[in-house]
Structure 1
Amino acid sequence: MREVETASARIAGKYGNDEFAISPSRLSDIETKGLVPSIYRLYSLAVIYRRDLREILSWYDIDLNAVTADMKLNLPPKSHPSQVVQGASVVQMPIRLDPAFDPRRTNNLGRMVEQWGLVPLAYLAQFASDKYTYGYVGSEDFTMYPILPPGTFLQVDESRNKILQGMWRSEYERPIYFVETRDGYTCCWCTLKGDHIILQPHPLSPVPVRVLRHPQDAEVIGQVIGIAVSLGEWRAAESLPDSKPDSKGRAALN
């Protein structure tokens, strides 16, 4: 205890603040009586015992990696820059992808990740959530273009895997679903008709409507609730895939 007192006194002397000092009696109270130390003494303990301050805070159920998630509890009304990432600790994120991953096709991000590793970017901790699936719109998938252009990352809520029916005031209100078919994944509007599911692309998309058996040939993974898209990129109409809408499929919607 005397060593802690001496070491903390040096820290207090350096910063000219006696709050950094830890007396033997105070250290005893911290260890035996559950006394919560001040932020200054927490810093001294971290320095003296060579422990990460985040680890010491975790002893008191303070997890700095939860800051970004807890920010959702108090959303500011106006846009503003965020500096929280700079103080983030390590979190899990993909460090190796499946070699069979084809960036031209829409994929389930969780399945294309072969190995997760620790990386100091707290915002990516959301990828580890069991509640959500993360998808990627392939570079050749124009199903929901121009709303969801190729290269878009998707956040999918798996609990919302029931297709909602109704009248929507605009295309932006209509739910978009992440769907797994025998040919792979796709992202589109969906309509159920009997034992078939209609996979409807955006009206401006060159991709045809598809009508598949449900759930044998198409399974709704969940509803898209968030996207990350790069703005400012576009392709001329003549450079889009040469595909004509399926008139029979379009008629099935009417």
Structure 2
Amino acid sequence: MLGIGRDLRAARNRMGFTLQEVEEFSEQLAQRWGNSKYRVSGSWLDRIELHNRALSAIKLIVLSFIYNLTPAHILAMRPGTDSNPSDPDPVSVPNCTLVITEGPLAEHAKRWLPDALIVNEAPENATLLDPIPGLLPPHIKRAIIGRKDRNMEPMIFPGSVIAFDSTRRSIAHRREWHNEFERPIYILFARTGFYCGFCELDRKEEWLTLVPHMLSPEPRKGRWRYRKEIEVLGTVTHISSARLQLPVRPVAPIEPSSTAA
């Protein structure tokens, strides 16, 4: 199709993607779909946008998938139409709350958060999830926080799905972060299972302690020989938050003081 470069740039800007991000996304799709022709070069796309050059149907397919464009919106990009392609359906806007029911975004959401995790009860303990070929880089892994894992509550509620970078396994020094939002969160594996939380090392870096969030109802309950009894699987990078209805712990009534006035 000729003469749609301006509209493609408008669609890319609405999604908030850079040329480099579109190129990286297209490379993932090309690997996932098993066809290198779906790869879109950032420099090539820049020329298309600036000079309204023609592009093939296969490139249009991958761009429409990345920008979440409907067939009606693509047809509206044809030169001479009365429609305004710069004002598509709100589903293309990433910076607003959306109810996703169908289309590429719905497929992406289901792969990130499978329906079974919403319908079924979360596992009792933290559990690794199967990788998503072609959607996430190989070093990015996923896990679900179990119902009994209240170590990071209320920052990470039980039932939440997290992504972690398996290449970032070193425990950050105290001087590398300034508050709880900057403090790295780690995924750990010991003989007793998986754990998620802040971590501390002793001065000799011989012992690792699992540190709960300051507002968590859980006490400090984990201490292992570093790299012998426990393995750091990675650092948490993304959190898909969920809040499960958990039983409230009973609190003993406070007896009135005999000296009260």
Report the TM-score, using the length of structure 1 for normalisation: 0.52
1:134 CA drift (Å): 0.7
Deviations 1:81-109, CA, capped at 9 Å, x for gaps: 45887441866836999xxx981010111
Residue from 133, 144, 157 that aligns with 1:136: 144
1:223 CA drift (Å): 1.0
1:108 correspondence with 2:95: no
Instruction: Report the CA distance shift for 1:86/1:37 in structure 2 as closer, same or farther (over 3 A).
Output: farther
1:105–1:140 Cα contact (<8 Å) kept = yes
Instruction: Report the CA distance shift for 1:81/1:96 in structure 2 as closer, same or farther (over 3 A).
Output: closer
What's the C-alpha RMSD, in Å, of the aligned pairs?
A: 3.8
Distance 1:142 1:83 in 2: 29
Task: For residue 62 of structure 1, give the secondary structure of its aligned residue in structure 2.
Answer: helix
Instruction: Report the CA distance shift for 1:230/1:84 in structure 2 as closer, same or farther (over 3 A).
Output: closer
Higher strand share: 1
Partner residue, 2:185: 176
Distance 1:152 1:214 in 2: 27
**5+ residue gaps, structure 2:** 5-37, 39-55, 69-93, 252-261
Q: Which amino acid aligns with 2:209?
A: I
2:158–2:243 Cα contact (<8 Å) kept = no
- Over the matched positions of the two proteins, sequence identity in percent amounts to 22
**Which structure's relative contact order is higher, taking Cα pairs within 8 Å and 6+ residues apart?**
2
Partner residue, 1:229: 241
2:162–2:240 Cα contact (<8 Å) kept = yes
1:156 correspondence with 2:164: yes
Task: For residue 153 of structure 2, give the secondary structure of its aligned residue in structure 1.
Answer: coil
Distance 1:63 1:166 in 2: 44
Distance 2:3 2:102 in 1: 24
1:139 CA drift (Å): 0.8
Distance 2:174 2:101 in 1: 40
Deviations 1:199-230, CA, capped at 9 Å, x for gaps: 11223332433211121221111111211122
Q: How many residues align structurally?
A: 165
Instruction: Report the CA distance shift for 1:82/1:212 in structure 2 as closer, same or farther (over 3 A).
Output: same
1:108–1:136 Cα contact (<8 Å) kept = yes
Q: Which amino acid aligns with 2:128?
A: N
Partner residue, 2:96: 80
2:207–2:224 Cα contact (<8 Å) kept = yes
1:146–1:205 Cα contact (<8 Å) kept = no
Greater Rg over alpha carbons, structure = 1
Task: For residue 58 of structure 1, give the secondary structure of its aligned residue in structure 2.
Answer: helix
